[in-house]
């Protein structure tokens, strides 16, 4: 087959799942999680005076499963080519470092190669697009280069893009609940831009209120622009024209309850402006909940766990730059102390835990977090966190109680622990 006929764009499995599945399992799976599942998501360790309660939904989502599999398949299919990743494939340090160990070169972000950059990509290279997707402009550039593209963008992200494209084509400005700097949101707003539409990205209710005030004419466009980051508002945004019709969408991993509130705020503001009794009857407002089901399920599961179990604390495990993990923390801490840790190494000692407090960008150390009495410990993990990280956290906690997991875990749990 000539190189001109070679397939250069993969959107799904590269056909090697059977060959990579055992390696993926060896890198990220844990038998201890099977034990939890077989025992009502609970693990009693009486000798350590610990009872663990695992949320019913946690860890790798379908989109992350697909992205990780496709990266491993690319490594298997193209052993002699350079393989680049545009940025982190997902927001988990263990997974990203494991890909680097296997030779994948990152072109941006915290794991960026010191010398190689986007401009160095050649038609002979393989380029992985991460699960969050990439901007329409960058995808076009990649296609122009002619490199082999392995596009792991999650289908739930593509679903948001289609909404935003529709808004743009119908003359609606996209109001996106998200983080303007997050890879997924950067890609999402590019879909509005390339279809001639405008966008505003709001992080929270406070920012949404500023936009709502502008919708009702209580604030000017310059106030909206000065309140938000320059990258959160499309170029040429003009409140007089571009707040007439609003379509709401959201980054898939935001706090679902907040996204719904923001949509209602925007819809009500437009309804008041138009003198319509309900936002549902307003032709100038559209809204689709684009929180993905995996995010919703994990938020619901930790909400249920903290409501039902009498927990002393919750450990939320996941990358510090993982949006959905941060929102699990927000839900968990409503009922009891909760700590967002990246992995087991954050459990420094019995009296010290390194963790990322809600709303902070740098981890902090908290003392006297564990104590020595009987504890009910809740566990959950973000959609990009491997099961192995949960198991390691359990083992470390037992260790902090001065015990060896091998001596105190039920035999059934231990036999499958790795």
List the catalytic residues. Answer: 184
Shortest reach from residue 118's CB to ligand SF4, in Å: 23
248: phi then psi, degrees, rounded to nearest 5: -100, 140
Q: How many CA atoms lie within 13 A of 21 on its CB side?
A: 5
- Between 190 and 253, whose beta carbon lies closer to ligand SF4? 253
Residues 236-255 contacting ligand SF4, CB under 6 A? 252-253
* Helix residue ranges per DSSP H, 128-252: 136-145, 155-169, 183-194, 205-215, 221-227, 239-242
Tell me the C-alpha to C-alpha distance, in Å, between residue 196 and each of 169, 183, 235, 369.
7, 21, 11, 52
Q: Which residue is nearest to ligand SF4 (CB)?
A: 63
Shortest reach from residue 210's CB to ligand SF4, in Å: 27
Distance of CA 284 to the CA centre of its chain: 31
Number of CB atoms found within 10 A of residue 374's CB: 11
Q: For residue 316, what are its two tokens?
A: 């939320």
Residue range at the interface with ligand SF4 (CB under 6 A); choices 10-18, 60-68, 270-278, 302-310: 60-68
d(CA 184, CA 186): 5
- Between 220 and 293, whose beta carbon lies closer to ligand SF4? 293
Shortest reach from residue 322's CB to ligand SF4, in Å: 9
d(CA 126, CA 152): 13
Indicate which single residue of 48, 61, 269, 302 sits in contact with ligand SF4 (rule: CB under 6 A): 61
Residue range at the interface with ligand SF4 (CB under 6 A); choices 56-64, 133-141, 216-224, 233-241: 56-64
Size of the site for ligand SF4 (CB under 6 A): 15
Residues 391-410 contacting ligand SF4, CB under 6 A? none
Number of CB atoms found within 10 A of residue 177's CB: 28
Shortest reach from residue 324's CB to ligand SF4, in Å: 5
For strands 9-10 and 50-54, give the pairing.
unpaired
Query: Does residue 387 bind ligand SF4 (CB under 6 A)?
Result: no
Indicate which single residue of 324, 325, 385, 393 sits in contact with ligand SF4 (rule: CB under 6 A): 324
User: Number of helices and strands (H, E) in the chain?
Assistant: 16, 17
Q: Which residue carries 């609003």 as its tokens? A: 246
Residue range at the interface with ligand SF4 (CB under 6 A); choices 9-17, 59-67, 78-86, 314-322: 59-67
369: phi then psi, degrees, rounded to nearest 5: -90, -20
DSSP letters, 114-152, are: SS--GGG--TT-EEEEPTT---HHHHHHHHHHTPEEEE-
- Between 63 and 378, whose beta carbon lies closer to ligand SF4? 63
Residues 268-297 contacting ligand SF4, CB under 6 A? 292, 294-295
Shortest reach from residue 42's CB to ligand SF4, in Å: 26
Shortest reach from residue 373's CB to ligand SF4, in Å: 36
Query: Does residue 62 bind ligand SF4 (CB under 6 A)?
Result: yes
Q: What angle do CA 241, 206, 380 make, to 5 degrees?
A: 120
Residues 6+ apart with CB under 8 A from 193: 136, 199, 234
d(CA 148, CA 164): 27
The conformation of residue 220, written as its DSSP 8-state character, comes to -
Q: For residue 194, what are its two tokens?
A: 């390339």
Shortest reach from residue 266's CB to ligand SF4, in Å: 22
- Between 70 and 398, whose beta carbon lies closer to ligand SF4? 70
- Between 328 and 346, whose beta carbon lies closer to ligand SF4? 328
d(CA 69, CA 22): 11
- Between 95 and 228, whose beta carbon lies closer to ligand SF4? 95
d(CA 201, CA 146): 32
- Between 209 and 303, whose beta carbon lies closer to ligand SF4? 303
Residues 100-159 contacting ligand SF4, CB under 6 A? 131, 154, 156-157
- Between 62 and 78, whose beta carbon lies closer to ligand SF4? 62
Query: Does residue 383 bind ligand SF4 (CB under 6 A)?
Result: yes
Query: Does residue 63 bind ligand SF4 (CB under 6 A)?
Result: yes
Residues 151-210 contacting ligand SF4, CB under 6 A? 154, 156-157
Shortest reach from residue 256's CB to ligand SF4, in Å: 12
Residues 6+ apart with CB under 8 A from 41: 53, 54, 55, 56
Residues within the interface to ligand SF4 (CB under 6 A): 61-64, 131, 154, 156-157, 252-253, 292, 294-295, 324, 383
């Amino acid at each position: 087959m000539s190189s001109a006929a070679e397939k250069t764009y993969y959107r799904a499995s590269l056909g090697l799942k059977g060959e990579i599945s055992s390696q993926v399992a060896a890198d990220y799976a844990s038998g201890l999680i099977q034990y939890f599942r077989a025992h009502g998501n609970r693990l009693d360790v009486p000798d350590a005076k610990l009872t663990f309660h695992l949320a019913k939904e946690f860890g790798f989502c379908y989109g992350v499963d697909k992205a990780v599999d496709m990266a491993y398949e690319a490594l298997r299919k193209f052993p002699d080519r350079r393989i680049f990743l545009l940025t982190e494939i997902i927001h988990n340090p263990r997974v990203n470092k494991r890909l680097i160990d296997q030779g994948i070169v990152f072109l941006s972000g915290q794991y960026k190669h010191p010398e190689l950059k986007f401009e160095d990509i050649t038609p002979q290279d393989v380029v992985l697009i991460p699960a969050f997707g990439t901007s329409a402009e960058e995808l076009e550039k990649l296609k122009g280069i002619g490199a082999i593209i392995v596009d792991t963008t999650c289908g739930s992200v593509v679903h948001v893009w289609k909404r935003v494209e529709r808004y743009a084509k119908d003359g609606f400005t996209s109001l996106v609940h998200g983080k303007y700097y997050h890879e997924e949101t950067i890609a999402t707003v590019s879909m509005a831009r390339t279809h001639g539409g405008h966008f505003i990205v709001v992080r929270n209710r406070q920012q949404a209120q500023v936009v709502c005030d502008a919708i009702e004419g209580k604030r000017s466009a310059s106030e909206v622009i000065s309140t938000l980051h320059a990258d959160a508002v499309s170029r040429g945004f003009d409140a007089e024209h571009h707040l007439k019709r609003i379509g709401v969408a959201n980054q898939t991993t935001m706090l679902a309850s907040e996204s719904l509130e923001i949509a209602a705020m925007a819809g009500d503001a437009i309804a008041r402006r138009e003198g319509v009794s309900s936002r549902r009857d307003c032709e100038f407002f559209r809204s689709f909940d684009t929180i993905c089901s995996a995010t919703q399920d994990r938020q619901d599961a930790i909400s249920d766990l903290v409501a039902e179990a009498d927990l002393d604390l919750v450990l939320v495990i996941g990358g510090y730059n993982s949006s959905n993990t941060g929102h699990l923390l927000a839900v968990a801490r409503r009922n009891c102390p909760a700590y967002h840790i990246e992995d087991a190494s954050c459990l420094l000692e019995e009296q010290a835990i390194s963790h990322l407090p809600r709303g902070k960008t740098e981890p902090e150390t908290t003392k006297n977090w564990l104590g020595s009495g009987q504890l009910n410990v809740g566990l959950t993990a973000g959609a990009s966190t491997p099961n192995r990280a949960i198991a390691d956290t359990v083992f470390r906690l037992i260790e902090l109680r001065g015990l060896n997991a091998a001596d105190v875990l039920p035999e059934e749990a231990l036999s499958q622990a790795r």
